[in-house]
Structure 1
């Protein structure tokens, strides 16, 4: 306690006042002097014991703070009665809980980052391995037709890698919260046509039948570029599941509460164990094609939910999968 400047100053001031009181008491008479000594001694001892107890409590709190800074899991600060120490105890408890929550969040983020980096490395390694294999085959293959096929396959792999890297960059931007979505009126017909446009030729090549029921004049609020990409990824996923000679139904419904876009395919639907993981990053369901990366639906979910919408998926009663994208009014 003597290391505390305030305590030393108070001790000096108390000594001077006690000395003055004792001298004044003896100047009156002996009994008054003895009474002054007794009061000064009693007050001094009481103040010393009280201050020592307070310093002990503060020292315990300081030790607990030190434990918090060293990531202790189990902490205990005994509650004090009403007063300054009780307020300090309450604030320290809040601080401990907050720091513990932040530590847990940081651990989860580090684990998620490590898992994501491992997944990204795996996703990129697969096409790179295929490209290296094709290049070695090209070097030892004199047949011109075979070389053209290998070059075409290499080009497809590079296109897939470019899509993968672009999608990962978009996910990173969305995770970081640096994407500023526009808030503008979008005609749903225009939105769906913009999403379908790049997929019309693949649909024709795979003989996929498309049926649309989208009334004119329905509008939603959002970012046309990002939302068209999200819907395009959903349609692309349905095309892959439906396969050759498949069917797609796109229906839009509008009511005073929300606008809903449903996309229904003629594929085999989802496995029961896949339904709760469909929008998880890098998740590839039981019915996914081998070329899938498990990124498209995750990107869709993030784009739509960040703009106030919702997206769900389930098995249709008449077979196939159905995606429901809903935008509240």
Structure 2
């Protein structure tokens, strides 16, 4: 207690006041002096005992806080009965609960980061291994036609790796919250045309028919660049699913509650067990024929949900898969 400057100042002031009071008491008479001494001793003893107990409670609280700070398994502080200290205990308990929540969140984020890094390494290792194998075959193969085929296959692998790295960078930017979406009126027909533009030649080469039913002048609110990116990821998935001589339909619907864009392909649809996990990151499906990296649909969902929309996917009653993007009005 004596290390507390305020307590020392109060003790000195108390002894000075007590001394002066006792002197005045003896000046009046002997009984007044003795009464002053008794009162000063009683008050001083009571105050010292009360202050000592307070310091013990504070020291106990301090020790428990120290345990919380240095022991991950202890996150609780014993209850205190005193008024101000009880209020302090309540506030510190709230703080420890908050620390526990943040600690749990950090552990989950750390585990998620470790899992993501492992998935990314695995996703990149596969095309890299294939590219190394092709390059070794290319170096030892004198046949010009086969060498050209190997070069084309290597270029395809490099394109896929470039898409994967670009998509991962976009996901990391969205995760970090550094992407600012623009909110503006978007002409849906122009949006669909912009999303389709990179796929027109591949669709023609694979005889994939594209059919759109989007009225003129219909508008939605959002960021046209990012929404175009999301739709392109869906179209890429549909093209891989439908294969040669397939068909993709894009239809716009409008109700008093929401506007929606549906994309339907003529492929084989989804396996039943894959439906709940379609938009999970790095999920590639149970099918042995599954291609891709499990990035496109996860990126698509993040883009749409961050702009207040929803996206669902299911098997169409007439066959194939159907994606539904909705924006509330």
Instruction: Give the TM interval when normalised to the shorter protein.
Output: over 0.9
Per-residue deviation, 1:298? 0.8
Per-residue deviation, 1:170? 1.0
- The answer to whether the 8 Å contact 2:68/2:74 transfers is no
Give the equivalent residue in structure 2 for 1:297: 297
CA distance in 2: counterparts of 1:71 and 1:223, whole angstroms: 47
> Bigger CA drift: 58-67 or 129-138?
58-67
Find out whether 1:309 has 2:306 as its counterpart. no
Find out whether 1:67 has 2:79 as its counterpart. no
- The answer to whether the 8 Å contact 1:210/1:247 transfers is yes
> Bigger CA drift: 98-107 or 158-167?
98-107
- The answer to whether the 8 Å contact 1:241/1:287 transfers is no
CA distance in 2: counterparts of 1:48 and 1:75, whole angstroms: 33
CA distance in 2: counterparts of 1:109 and 1:216, whole angstroms: 45
- The answer to whether the 8 Å contact 2:262/2:325 transfers is yes
For 1:155-178, what per-residue CA distance to the aligned partner results, in whole angstroms no more than 9, with x for missing partners?
Answer: 000111111111111111111122
Give the equivalent residue in structure 1 for 2:181: 181
Per-residue deviation, 1:184? 1.8
Query: Secondary structure at 2:76's aligned position in 1?
Result: coil
Per-residue deviation, 1:219? 0.4
Give the equivalent residue in structure 1 for 2:26: 26
Per-residue deviation, 1:218? 0.9
- The answer to whether the 8 Å contact 1:269/1:315 transfers is yes
Per-residue deviation, 1:67? 2.6
CA distance in 2: counterparts of 1:22 and 1:205, whole angstroms: 110
Mapping for residues 191-206 of structure 1, pairs under 5 Å = 191-206=191-206
CA distance in 2: counterparts of 1:288 and 1:256, whole angstroms: 43
Give the equivalent residue in structure 2 for 1:283: 283
Give the equivalent residue in structure 2 for 1:163: 163
* Structure 1: gaps spanning 5 or more residues: none
Mapping for residues 1-329 of structure 1, pairs under 5 Å = 1-81=1-81, 83-287=83-287, 289-329=289-329
Per-residue deviation, 1:266? 2.4
For 1:70-115, what per-residue CA distance to the aligned partner results, in whole angstroms no more than 9, with x for missing partners?
Answer: 2533333334457322331222122112222221121111111111
Q: Could you tell me the TM-score, scaled by structure 2's length?
A: 0.94
- The answer to whether the 8 Å contact 1:181/1:223 transfers is yes
Query: Secondary structure at 2:326's aligned position in 1?
Result: strand
For 1:192-224, what per-residue CA distance to the aligned partner results, in whole angstroms no more than 9, with x for missing partners?
Answer: 111112112222232323332212211011121
CA distance in 2: counterparts of 1:288 and 1:18, whole angstroms: 93
- The answer to whether the 8 Å contact 1:241/1:288 transfers is no
CA distance in 1: counterparts of 2:315 and 2:23, whole angstroms: 97
- The answer to whether the 8 Å contact 2:251/2:262 transfers is yes
Moved over 6 A (4+): none
Query: Secondary structure at 1:96's aligned position in 2?
Result: helix
Q: Could you tell me the TM-score, scaled by structure 1's length?
A: 0.94
Taking a change above 3 Å as real, the CA distance of residues 242 and 5 of structure 1, as seen in their structure-2 partners, is same
RMSD of equivalent CA atoms:
1.8
- The answer to whether the 8 Å contact 2:248/2:263 transfers is yes
* Alignment coverage as a number of residue pairs: 329
